[in-house]
A and B are shown apart, each in its own frame.
Chain A
Amino acid sequence: MSERKLDVIMIKKLKIVIPCSEANHVCDKSQYKESSFNEKIKLYIHLMYCGACRDYSSTNTRLSSIILKSKVTCIDKKYKDSMKNLFEKAMNNSDFK
Chain B
Amino acid sequence: MPNQLLNPNKWIDLYADYLFNFTISRVNDKEVAQDLVQETFLAALKSMNNFKGEASERTWLISILKRKIIDYYRKINSNKGQAEVRIKYNNDFETEGDWLEEHVADPYDKTAEDIIQNTELGEAILNCLSKLPEKHAEVFRMKTIEGMETEEICKELNITASNLWVIIHRARTAMASCLKENWM
Contact = CB atoms under 8 A, between A and B. Distances in A.
A73 B16 CA distance: 11
Contacts of A94: 45-46
A91 B9 CA distance: 9
Interface string B140-184: 010111100010000000000000010011001001100110011
B12 A80 contact: yes
Contacts of B143: 32
Contacts of B122: 70-72
Contacts of A74: 17, 20, 141, 145-146
21 contacts: A25-B169, A59-B184, A63-B175, A63-B184, A66-B179, A67-B144, A69-B121, A72-B125, A72-B145, A74-B20, A74-B141, A75-B20, A76-B34, A79-B34, A84-B12, A86-B38, A86-B42, A87-B8, A87-B42, A96-B8, A96-B45
Interface of A: 24-25, 28-29, 31-32, 34, 59-60, 62-64, 66-67, 69-77, 79-80, 83-84, 86-87, 90-91, 94, 96
A83 B41 contact: yes
A83 B141 CA distance: 18
A19 B24 CA distance: 43
A80 B16 contact: yes
Contacts of A24: 169
A71 B118 contact: yes
Nearest to A83: B38
Nearest to B180: A59
A70 B46 contact: no
Given A62-B176, A86-B38, 18 more contacts: A25-B169, A29-B165, A32-B143, A34-B150, A59-B176, A59-B180, A60-B176, A62-B184, A70-B122, A72-B126, A73-B21, A74-B20, A76-B34, A80-B16, A83-B34, A83-B37, A83-B38, A84-B12
Nearest to B16: A75
Contacts of B85: none
Contacts of A75: 16-17, 20, 34, 37
Contacts of A25: 165, 169
Given A28-B172, A29-B165, A83 B16 contact: yes
A94 B45 CA distance: 8
Nearest to A82: B38
Contacts of B12: 80, 83-84, 87
* A-B residue pairs, 8 tightest by C-beta: A72-B122, A70-B121, A70-B122, A59-B176, A75-B20, A74-B17, A63-B176, A83-B38
